[in-house]
Each structure stands twice: as C-alpha cells, then as structure tokens.
Structure 1
Amino acid sequence: MVIKQHRETSPLLTFSDTWDVLGPFQIGTREATWGADPLERLGGFRALEPDTKAQFKSSLAPNGLVSWSSRHFDILSISPTTVEGILTVDFPRVNWPFLQSVYGWAALQYQAWTRGYLNLGTDSPQSILLFTDHALEFFVDDAHYFGGDFYAYRRAPLVLHLKPGIHKFDIRLVRDVRAMGGIGEPKVDVKLKVEIANGGLAIVEQKLLISDMVNETLASPFASVPVRNEGLGWLWVSTDSAEATFSAAMLEKAPLALAPGQSRPLAFHVSSQGPPVHSISLKITYAARTCHESLLSTILFHKLRVRSIYSPHKFTFLHPSGTVSYAIIRPPGNAIDEIPQIRLPILLNLHGAGLEADSDQVRHMLDSVPDLHAWILFPTGVTPWSSDDWHTWGFADVEAAAAAIPDWIESVGWRGSSVNVDRWLVSGHSNGGQGTWYALTHRPDRIIGAVPVSGYSSIQGYVPYQMWSEADPRVTCLVQSALRSFRHELLLNNFSGTPILQQHGGVDDNVPAFHSRRMSQLISESNNDARHEYIELKDRNHWFDGVMSTQPLREFYRDILGSDSDLPQLSQSFSIVIANPADMGSRGGLVVDQLSDPDQLGKIEVAPSSTTDAWVLKTSNILRFHFSTTHGSKPPAHDIIIDKTPIRLPLAHEKRVYWLVHSEDGSWHMTDDRDWMLELRCGNQLGPLDSILRTSGRFIIQTWSAETFDMALQVSRNLFQYFAADSEIIHSSADVDRRKGSVISLALGPDLLSHPSKVQSISITKDRGLVLRKGNGQTIAYELRDGLGAIYLRPLAVGRLEVVIWGHDDWGLRLASRLVPMLTGVGQPEFIVVSNACAWKGAAGVLAMGSFDNSWNVSESSFIS
C-alpha cells in the first residue's frame, strides 16, 4: 500500500496510488442485486489478502483462472479537505470479441473487486462524505454498503464518521451494458470523491428545484431542496421566507425529521406577497432532539430564471409520492390555438436514459416544429434515468405532469387554448422510445398516436440474461415473470388501431435497429390493424441533431394533431392483454381488476354479436372487470355476452361502478358490492415487489429494533438516490396507520413484527421458523439458521401496501434488504426467502420465491425448495 502525500496542498485526505484488483468473474444482466458473487463462497473479498501466486476459478478468463493485479488510481482534484479520483479497470487478457460473438452484449458484463486505502490525516475523528460514482456495492473498514451511486447522481452521499489514520475500501466493480455501453473495450470507471463534512445540517443549494419565471410569476409554486444530516443526532428542519415579498411554507405541517446520515428533499410552497420578485431567499432552521430551541438559521439565496411563456420552460408539480418533480412545458403558440374554448391534446416527449429534461438537448428537441396544435411536454420521469425505465415510478410522473397543466394555466394566467389531459400523442427516443411502447400497451385509451424512435423493445430484449448463475428453471421463470408487465412484445394487441410511426437509425450501435424491426414485424403478425409505418434511416446512428423532427416525423405530428385529435376509431373487434391489472389502464372502456391466476397473462377478446347489438366477450384468466368512461371511452350497448353468459348493463347515466365477476361454476354475474376490496388483493397491491413504487405519499421506513436502523438508513438513501423519493424513518411504536404511503418494515430475530391484518401467509415463530402458507392450507417451514432472511409484500388498510424485510441475523437481513427495488430489470417476485447461498449463487440460492393469490396465500406456481 502506497499513499502519496501532496505536501504542496497539505491535504487531509489522500487515496493510495495503487489499488489491488481481483477478477473478472461472470455476472448476468442486473444480477448483482441478488448477490451472485463467487468470492462469497470463500468468505468474501474482504477476507482475502493480495497474493500474486493465488489463483481463482473464473469462466471468463483464459484457462479458467484469474489472479491478483493492480491499477493506478488517478487523482482528478485535491484540496486540503477534498480528494477526487478515478480508477479504470479492464481485463485485456480476456477474449471479449469471441465471447461477444457467441453471447452478445451479455458477455461484456462482468464483476471484479478492488481494494485501496484512504488516509485521514486529521488529529481527531471526522464526518466524511463519500461519493461512489458507478459503484453499486462496497465495504469501508469491513462495514458493508449496498446501493452506492450506480448512475453517478451524487444525490445522497454516504456519511461516514472516521477516526484518523488508514481506512480500507473494498469496492465491487460491476460492468453493466445498460449503464456503461456495449461498444469498445469493456472497462469500468469508478470515480470516488471524499470530502470532510461540516457536520450538522447540509443544504444542497445547487440541487434546488424551482420553477422558471414566466409572465412575471412562477410557473408553479412547488419547490424543494435536498438537506442532509451530517451529524450524530437527529435533526428537525423547517423553512420560511427570509423577506416579506413572498412566503415559503413547508408542504408538511411538522418539521422534517432527519436521521443521522440521512438525506431528504425539503419540499415547500412559494407564493408572492407583492410585486413580482426575481430571486428568493429562504430561511432554513433546524433543531436537535435534545433541545427545542433553534440551533441554526441559514439563508439560501436563489436567482430565478426568466423565460418567455412561449419557449420551453420548467414548471414543478407533485409526484403521487409527494416528491416535487418538474417537467418542461411549451404551450401552443400559433394564433389559431389561442382560443380558450379549444382543448388541445398533449405531445409527450420521453427523453433517453441519463438525460435531464431541462438540458438543451431535450428542451429544444422540437423547436423546428413551433406551430403544432398541441401542448408540448417533456417529463423528467423524476430522474435522468427516468427512475425505472418510464414504468411504475417514472410513468406516474408522466401522468402527474400531464394532469398539472391546468394548474400551470391558472398560475401564469394563460388565456389561450385549454388542454385535454386525456389525449396524448406520445413520442420518445431510446429509453423514451421504450417508454412510448409502455404508454401504448398500458394506456391505450389515451393515445391518439405514437412515435417510438430508436427505442428498445423491452428490458429483456435489450441485454440478454444468459449469463446469470444457473438456477432451477422455475426460479428463472419467476424472475422473468416479475418483469412481464414490461414485456411489450406480448401486449401489442392493446393498441390495435392506433397510428404509429417508428424511426430508427440503420447503423445504431447503442440500440440496434433490430428492436424496431422486430416490433414492426410483431405488429404485422399480431393482426393489429394499427396505422403503422417503419422508417429506417440509412447511415444514421443512435443520436443526431434533429432526430425527433425529421421530415417524416414532422408530417406525422401535423397529421395526427391536425385532425380532431380524438381517439382513433376502435375496431368492432379488439382485444386486451393484461400482465398486471395495477399497471393497466382501460381499453375500449374495459378495466380489468383481477386475474384468476395472477401468475399468468389475462385476455379479453371483444367482437360484435352477429344477431344483436350486444358485445360478445371471450375471456381467459380474468376474474373481475368493469367498464369505465373516465377517459372518454364509449362502453358497449346495453347488453353483453361474456363466455356465453348474457349480462344486461346498467344505463350509461348510472355512475355507480358495477363489476363483472367470474363465478366458480364458470358463469358470470354483475355486482356493485365493494366489500371484496377489503378482503382480496386489488389496485396498487397487485404485482411484484416494485408495487411499492405506486406509493401515495412518502415512504415510511419502520424499524423494529435498534439493530435494524443502519439498514433502514441504507434503504432510505437508495430510495432517494435512485428515485429522488422521500422517506421517513420511524420506530415501530409510531402509528403507521395515520401516515400515507407505502411502508417498509425491517425486523431482526425470531419474532416477526405484529400485523393488524388477518393475512398471515408468511409467519415466523421460534418453534417452527419461517412458515409459508398455501391456499390449500398446506404449510412449509424453514428452520431458523444463519443467513436466513425474507422480503415480501403484505396488505395494509385502505389499499395500502407494506414490504417486510426480515432476517434471522444481520447477514440474512442484508441479503433480503438488497432486493428492495432500486435498479430496473432485477425481477423481484412478491416474496423471496433468501439463504447464505444467495451471496454467491444469487437467485439460484433462494429457498423459496413466488407470488400470492388473490387471497394473499402463496400461489401454487411458486418455487419451494
């Protein structure tokens, strides 16, 4: 170990010049979340010491063996209190081109470990901020941290409290094509930054989120700024305006509680109290638990950005989770569109991965078509990586942004054309192109046209999953089944009749044109009567200036928006395919509420009767559905025939919801009884672990012992890092039922936390251990042992949802906690029972996994070892 001192700057922080490296080892697409580290079979990298003679088995390397090597750590910047550097790791001895020729991009993904040291040259212990760009997992002095900052957001650094001297850093390197690309020599660049913290409350001023000024007023009143507790005790934070010309009131009545080391968004509402202001000054105060008086007040000054009302500008709104988000809006500017009684549709443009909606690249993407008869909206998806590929969390942001346009109209005093928030022409590039497929397949009754550009077909279609650790086929099936709602190739029937124009560069080396070609072929083969066209641009790559405004696209925009902008005429015969009812909107007014078997796709085929005006419905795996006119869809005539059962629907003016229910004898009946929602899974409770991302209100992280606090803090940090989500850490004695939002509960030891529901499909006792209950009453028990843990869903009152994370010991708790949704494509089913073997086998090491039926019992298709 060599740590070079930079005497000219007298640094207090220095990294070792040389880092030891061990690897590469095999890893599959997004498999690292499950563990799957072969060195864990040997006690983990942390238990190994560098030895040039030692060799380790690896399926990637020549002769199947790898040895220790070393790399130079390059210092990028250094000051007395900060050091930042980068470590570049590659493995040129591996024949990557040959592996890629057989396994594609999946072969360019690998994992390795590296070890270096930090010297803290102070005279006393210090609070340290650690930024870990592109690292997912690491150990600092053998303390384990999972989550890191894989996308280099730098939103929630780790707060460490270190003593003076040498500190060991063990970092797991995970090369991921989705995040790091598939072109060129596969390497990993990990950037580390360490700085001495000030202690107490930190306000991240450069990440203040606030609207632009238009028409001498804020485009919207919501704002937020990240705050971080760099001390050792809890803090309570509040804000107010620092001058009389405007007010800045917190959205929550109570002060924001910050646990030691926690980062959270401080959200507030800004309003003017007098003449227009072009800057704001916020007074932020905080107090400690041990005293009620204010310990500190600080002033945050921010100059507001002024934009023309007709240019793309930023406005803020509330994500369903309560987080302040933003979008870029461009109102219709043509004189013909300045008639208030006209309600124009929205042209949505979904950005690609890693882009900020407020960047010049995105906000000016449609400048060459200034005269469109539409509201132009560039959502963020909350984060530059659109949080979860424009799916559950990111798509909720899209809908919230669209729904907030009327509030923008009121805020700025807009007198032009109004907006139809339920009519979308949706477009997107790259990951946004994939998001366009998601919108088409999951919100078909809103879409008047679609433009997927250079988009991939699905998560599974982008980078294959072949390189995962070998597992029981049932395990592999359940992992993929957890992602089925995002398998757009299976859901093409949902948008039949919708005008679609695909565009892709012929030499795209980021998202190969195969994806668009394949979707075009599947649309043709699915008897989809969409007005569909595919254009491939010869010699064009993934991105070029004007990619979203080529001549064919401009003509398509004008064609769709130049009509009456109503929904395409629905064919007399159509179908709807359901992967997860919670993700799916209406199709032809049909809304599926429950599947008979939640583990399989459901389908409804609709055709006109040959003898009457009735609709004839043929169903497969459908338990319950209803008709909705929320988005202007027209339900059928008075009569329908479902699987040969005639049903007379109530008159259209009757607003009460009536459900069509499949009876045990195979017939159908109609009911308006709502009690089923109190007894069965429904709504946001449906689906795999990522169902918690449908939270209505901030996350509540509940700790059931002091030993689970550190893990609660990691979960909170990851939610903020990857979703910009807010979470409140509370102790089990707090009243969870009085709070909104999804609950994440952490428990350790033989006694599982109590639960108010009668549902106990998973229970833990000292005598039997962890017990699973199937619908037929059969139980399966796993005795308590080292490394045993579980993560699973269970219901709360009023349709809310809880994720339980339990470990028999600390390691079992950690194995389960790392499965809290964070990265896309991991595929976490509704319950998972982990064992020590997961650390090195990944998903292949689980003791059980699967889903729950509609009564919250373990389904028959689950994997039980």
Structure 2
Amino acid sequence: MPGYGYVSEEQRGVVLLSDDAVIPQVINDRLVTAFASVTITNANVTGQEILPIHTADSQGPRGDESGWIQVVSARATCSEGIQIKIVLPVHFSIKLAPGQTYPVPLNLSIEGDNAPKSMRIHLDLADLGNTKRWTVSTGEYELERREWGSAYKITFLDYDHSVHYAMAFPPEGNCEQWPEKRCPVVLALHGAGVEASSSYWTESYRRQKNAWVLFPTGRTPWGYDWHGPSFWNIESALDALRLRPGVPDDLVNSVGVNRERLIYAGHSNGGQGAWWLLSHYPDRALAGLPAAGYVKIQFYIPYFMRIGDAYADPLLRGILESAISEHDIDLYASNMAGIPILARTGGSDDNVPPVHSRRLIRMVNEWSRKTTAANLSEIPNQGHWFAGVVDDDVMQSFVDTSLQNASTQGLSLPALPSAFSLSTLNPASSGSKGGIRILQLQVPFRLGTIRVHRQNDQWILNTTNVRRFGFVADDRQEGLQRWSVDGTNFDKPPVVSGKSYLKGEDGIWKVADDMLWISEERHFSTYGPAIHIFDQPFIIVIPSTITERTITYRKMAQHLATSWYLFGRGGTQIVRDVDVLDGIAAQYNMLVLGGPEDNMFTKKRQPGLESMVKFLPGGGFQIDKRVYVDQGTGILFLAPSPTRTRMGLFIAGTDADGLLRAAWTVPFRTGLQVPDYIVLGEEYGDPSTGWTAGDGAPFGGAGTKGAGGVLAAGYWSNHWDFDARCGYLK
C-alpha cells in the first residue's frame, strides 16, 4: 500500500487467539471448503484513547485514529512450498478499535488436488494513526485429512460475514430415490457447551442410508438456544451443504441436498432446539426426534426467583416476559399437529426432568386430537445422557419409518390434519403451517392465531389478532378451490407469490396487490424485540464530535463489539455517525450510541423518531406524554432505517450513568427480557457493572431493583409509533 512503512517480526500490541481458528479439512487432497478464520485482539489500550474518527471505507492513514489497526491483506505459507492464495471475502475494510477482538474471515484457494499438511497464516496490518505497517503470523495449523464416509467439517461465511463451520455426515447410499436426486437432512443440534466437531457428538448419530446428517454449531458451543443468530447459522450451514462440498466428483450428482425437507433432532439444549424448530418452522419438518429437551427457558431456569419481580407492576412483568415468550414451545404447540414426533427422555434425568417431554407430547396430542399422534420414549433409570439416547434402535426405526413414509409420496410433507391452527407471537421468528404464514399482528406481541378447517376443496380460516397473512407454495394445497377468512369468501385458489391478505378497518379481508407495505410498515425483518437487531449484519455508530462523554462512548463501543464476539463469535465494525449514508443504512442493522446532541446520525433521524421517542433539549426524552429527565436515566429503542428495510437500536441517556445503564441492557444473550423499547431509572442497576445490586436509595431501602427500576417498556405498532395496547409507562 503506497505511503506505508514496514515493520517486520513485531506484534505491536496485537494478540493472536490461536485456539479460536476455523481451519477447513481435506478430502482426497482437496480442501473441502475454502473459508477459514483466525482471531486477533487489538490490545493497544491505555484507557485514555480519544474515540476515533474514521470511515468504514477509508483506505489511508489518519492521524486521529491512534491505536486503531486495519487488516490490509493475508497470506499463507507451508513447508511444502505449495502456493496458497488468500483474499479477504468482505466488501469493507476490517478495522479494530483498541480493545476489540475480531475473527478475521479468509478465503483460501489451492490449485489442483495438492493441499499441504499444514500452513501458517500471516496477516498484514496497518496502524491507522501513523504510517507503520507490520505482519503477525500464526503457528502451524494442521489441515486435517478425512475419509469420505466419515463426518467432516464444512466451513462457510455466515450472515454477519464471520466464518463458522458445521459437521456433515454424508448418506451411506445415494439420493436417487428422491426427487431431483436430493436427500433430506437430519439436523442434529448439540447441547449447551458441546463442540459440534467433537467425535463423541458426531458419532452419537448413525450414518443414514438416504439422508445427510448435519451438525451445526449455532455459532458457539453455547449459542443462542438455537434461536436468533443460532437459527440463522443453521440456515447458512444448510446453504453451504447444498453446494455438496467434499463430495467426490463421481458422486456429486447423486447425493444432492434438499434443505426444505428436514428431520429435527438434538439433545438437551439441542433437544429444545428441535422442539423449537418443529413448533416455529413446521412446514419443513418430515419428523422430529427431540431428546431431553426443555419446554422453555423459564421452566429450565427458575425465573420466579428473580427479586426484581417483587418490585414490578404485574403488567410490566407481562410485557417484559413477552420479549422472550416467542420461544415458548408450549405456546406454539398447535403448529406441531400432524408432524410425526418421537421424544426421548431418561426417566431419572435430573438436568431436564421428564416432565418437560411429557408436557409437550401431551399438548401436541391434544392439538392433534389423537392420543398417539406424538409419542414419548422414556427409558427407566437413565439420566440426562446415556448410550443410545439419541440413536438407539428405537430412534433409528422411527427415522427409517419417517423416511419410508416420505418416500411413498416423494418427500412430501406429512399430511395436514383436517383442522389445524397456526400460532405466533412474532412473525420475525416463525414460518408457515400448511402453506399459510402470518405476516403481521394487529397488536404486536399479543398471540395471533389462524384456525383452519379443511372441507373437501374448501378451507375455512378464522383469525385472532392477525392483521396480514400470506400463502406460500405447498403441495398439500392441491385441490383447494375455495376458501374464506373470517366470513370473507374467496372463490379461487390463494395467491402464493408477491401478495398478501390484509384485514381492513371494517373487518373485511382483501388482497394486497404489492409489497409496498414493507417499505412503510413493520415486517418480518423489522419486528423486534431488541435482540432481533442481531439477526442481520450490524455496525456500531459512534459520535464524531468530541465531548465530555467521548470516553464513555468509546467504552460502550468496545463493550458492544466484544460482547458480540464473546456470545456470538461475531465481528462488527465501529463507524462514525457522519459516514452512515443511506446505502450503509440499507445494508446493516445499527447500534447507534448517543442522542441528537452527540450523535449526528441520531440528529439526522430525529424527525422520523418522534412518533416513538422525542429527544428533549438538555438530554431527556419523551414517550407519548411521559417525560424522562432525571439523572441516571437510560433508554434503548428500536427504530426503522431510512429505507425501512433494516433497524437501528438507539442507546442514549440523560447523562453518562444513563448511557451505561442502557448499554449494559443490550441483550447479547438469550433469556434477557428487552422489548422494542425500555427506559431504565437509577434503581434499575449499577451503571458501572450492570449488576442489579447495590446499597439502596434513601427512600428505596432495597438497593437496585431490576425490573422494579424500569420506567417504560413495550412494543411499537405496525406503523412505528407508541401503542398503549402493548406498552407500559410507569
């Protein structure tokens, strides 16, 4: 790069986290997949850095970026002298703030069947505050050899541009019996703390004759309970598997992948994940094999013990709990009717007691109106894990039967019951049932249902709290000629592409002929709650103006970037407010730090935010008619991007303590109850640590109060404004 000096053999404060590399494997001397990743930390932290001013796409050095580094390029070497080419597979400059950790994505290429035994990776780095350039090098990474027929690793670029992997177990036979020679996939979801590549996990499932077995990571061994980022990781893994990486040339046309015909399986947290997929995305399920899965996090971890609930209005508690209730499997049990399910549990399991599996089986059978629709295999005197828990002869026989039933219909989905119900709390995290998908609720985060009665060539639909829905292609709609919804009759088959059905103010349903509503109203990509900000690639937007709160914003940005790496093994970029143009806002979700007095992007967006939050002179804010100006008050809230295709999560406060309270509340982990918006008072938690404990306020008497310190919380309407039906103002 012109203008840069060069410093060799010098780390310059950069730490390589060698144990966190993702390295592809080799089959027949050929890389299975091209993607790799090495993780680095910019340890240039003195505690006094001025928050940098830079643009995400700038290429040259800037004197006001002290301590920041940029990944300029990457190279690889090996002892055999084989040429390995590496490119950075992203369309932006990878820059790390002081203190930031980033998993650097790499795209490898080696000509021919000539993969080396090992390699070193060299990252060329630049100091953005001066003209220095230098290189850091890894140790030797082995390129592990695998034989075709064993479980092997596929690496891929996930939705946030970070590299992840999944393990794939190819079919023993081929896929020629299936349409288009594409095999179904058994999704095997691991439990909490389990590494997907561990042999004890991949060897727990048998190789299937005519199906792939896929072992995704969910992004980390702990993941997101297979929701949110973990779910999108599954989707990316399926996309990668569909390319048939690692398949020998003579087999590549006979072992295709059908990513829409799945058997959901897993153990413990993964068993819960299998239940979650069955209940949220039923129209992809051939069958379900959840083992030792729990009903929902509130049953697995006793939420009723939280002291903050003792100080909170019951209405507020309900709104907060609804932020995680979209993952309540029992609430979604209606969606599983008609799907073959065999749940497995140990009769003496003291980790996830059998009552979890019993409860869900009972509820599925209730909705199916058949006592044997779903079945439970409970093994006496066995605990949480035992030999064969996920794959003994009973479980394998169920898989064989499910695939045999599917083969008689050419991989068609299980038959629909004569009557079924589709339920959701959030269209952002649920799919279709019977080819029907709820697109909007009348009142967000209140339960929406569509009950369907099938009578010959007619379907009769009745709805509760549904504003808009649509149809997707489904072979089981064959023969459907007439249908009605809430008494409105349609005497022709439903439209399955590009259109939806909208309930008018008069209660009459009509066809919505186009997709323009997505540019005006909330939809599946812009529904909350706050944790859904991480379902798309995101950036952190910081103020460019230097103020007394600059150091606070720097610490917030470092904390948020590090949290995404820690909990999701993801990478994000920190950019300044004046560099966020509409093109960037259309591509990324954003964490926006600061109100309009500090952050120019917030100031630019201020007119479009006032239907939700009004920022007041002096640092306060207002929701509806309620004003919040007290010291130590923080707010975070979702708002649409200028193009309304993405979202921003705005984080602000009346002072530095309020800012920190809001920053600590960003929900980087599952189970955190943060709706579309939340206002936090000084009794909520310690701004310096985020802990909800303390010595007590003069008139409070019990220290910081968690939920009892929440001043407002709720969900915006479909038109992005305050809605008293799903909001709480203390």
TM range (shorter): 0.7 to 0.9
Aligned to 1:219: 32
Match status 1:513 vs 2:354: yes
> Given the superposition, is the C-alpha separation of residues 315 and 409 from structure 1 closer, same or farther in structure 2, using an over 3 Å criterion?
closer
Candidates 215, 219, 224, aligned match of 1:378: 215
Q: Of the candidates 324, 342, 345, which is equivalent to residue 184 of structure 2? A: 345
Contact persistence 2:154–2:240 (CA under 8 A): no
- Asked if 1:808 corresponds to 2:633, the answer is no
2:68 to 234, 257, 268: 234
Query: How many angstroms does 1:699 deviate by?
Result: 3.5
Q: Residue 845 in 1 paired to residue 676 in 2?
A: no
Look up the match of 2:603: 754
What secondary structure is seen at the aligned counterpart in 2 of 1:847?
A: strand
Identify the match of residue 702 of structure 1 among 524, 542, 545: 542
Task: Identify if the C-alpha distance between structure 1 residues 361 and 701 changes in structure 2 by more than 3 Å, giving closer, same or farther.
Answer: farther
Q: What TM-score, normalized to structure 2?
A: 0.85
Q: 1:340 to 1:245 in 2, by over 3 A?
A: farther
**1:859 paired residue among 723, 726, 730:** 723
- Residue type of the alignment partner of 2:653: G
For 2:114 and 2:200, the matched residues in 1 are separated by 30
Residue 429 of structure 2 aligns to a residue whose secondary structure is: coil
Describe how 1:17-416 pairs up with structure 2 within 5 A: 199-232=12-45, 233-243=67-77, 245-278=83-116, 279-292=118-131, 294-298=133-137, 301-334=140-173, 341-366=180-205, 369-385=206-222, 387-409=223-245, 413=249, 414-415=251-252, 416=254
Inter-partner Cα distance in structure 1 for 2:22 and 2:369: 43
Give the partner amino acid of 1:745: V
Aligned counterparts, 1:379-778, within 5 A: 379-385=216-222, 387-409=223-245, 413=249, 414-415=251-252, 416-468=254-306, 469=308, 470=310, 471-529=312-370, 531-563=373-405, 564=407, 565-609=411-455, 613-629=457-473, 634=477, 637-649=480-492, 656-695=497-536, 697-703=537-543, 706-707=550-551, 708-739=553-584, 740-747=587-594, 753-756=602-605, 758-760=608-610, 761-766=612-617, 769-773=620-624
Q: Is the 8 A contact 2:176 2:182 kept in 1?
A: no
Shift, 1:339, TM fit: 9.2
Q: Is the CA contact 1:501–1:534 (under 8 Å) kept in the aligned structure 2?
A: yes
CA distance in 2, matches of 1:247, 1:768: 52
**Alpha-carbon distance in 1 for matches of 2:208, 2:468:** 45
Amino acid at match of 1:617: L
Q: Over aligned residue pairs, what C-alpha RMSD do you find? A: 2.3
Contact 1:593 1:683 in 2 (8 A): yes
CA distance in 2, matches of 1:805, 1:213: 45
Q: Secondary structure at the match of 1:682?
A: coil
Deviation at 1:498, TM superposition (A): 0.4
Contact 1:447-1:498 within 8 A present in 2 as well: yes
Tell me how far apart the structure 2 counterparts of residues 780 and 601 of structure 1 sit (CA, whole Å): 27
The Cα shift of 1:755 comes to: 4.2
Gaps of 5+ in 1: 1-196, 774-778
**What does residue 695 of structure 2 align with?**
none
The number of residues matched between the two structures is 654
The answer as to whether partners of 1:702 and 1:743 remain within 8 angstroms in 2 is no
- Contact kept? 1:429, 1:548, Cα under 8 Å: yes
Q: Measure the CA separation in 2 of the matches of 1:683 and 1:410.
A: 35
Deviation, 1:809, is 1.3
Change (3 A) 1:525 1:462: same
What is the CA distance between 1:634 and its match in structure 2? 3.4
Q: Match of 1:552, SS?
A: helix
**What letter is aligned with 1:207?**
D
More strand by share: 1
Q: Say if 1:691 and 1:539 are closer, same or farther in 2 by CA, change over 3 A.
A: same
What TM-score, normalized by structure 1, do the two folds share? 0.72
Q: How does 1:772-851 map to 2 (within 5 A)?
A: 772-773=623-624, 779-782=625-628, 784-796=629-641, 797-839=643-685, 840-851=704-715
Q: Distance in 1 between matches of 2:44 and 2:475?
A: 54
Distance 1:198 1:294, change over 3 A: closer
SS at match of 1:804: strand
Return the offset for 1:464: 2.1
Secondary structure of residue in 2 paired with 1:692: helix
Residues 736 and 382 (structure 1), Cα distance of their counterparts in 2 relative to 1, 3 Å cut: farther
1:524 Cα shift? 2.7
Task: Name the CA distance, whole Å, in 1 between partners of 2:43 and 2:582.
Answer: 30
Alpha carbons 1:424, 1:449 under 8 Å: kept: yes
Structure 1 distance, partners of 2:130, 2:143, is: 35
CA distance in 2, matches of 1:293, 1:566: 61
Distance 1:717 1:554 in 2: 42
Q: Summarize the Cα distance change of 1:340–1:642 in structure 2 as closer, same or farther, 3 Å threshold.
A: closer
Q: Give the structure 2 partner of residue 153 of structure 1.
A: none
**Matches of 2:513 and 2:493 in 1, distance apart?**
11
Partner amino acid, structure 2, of 1:305: E
The residue identity in structure 2 corresponding to 1:816 is A
**Structure 1 residues 254 and 597, CA, compared in 2 at 3 Å: closer, same or farther?**
closer
Q: Quote the Cα distance in structure 2 between the aligned partners of 1:457 and 1:372.
A: 32
Cα separation, 2, equivalents of 1:578 and 1:291: 54
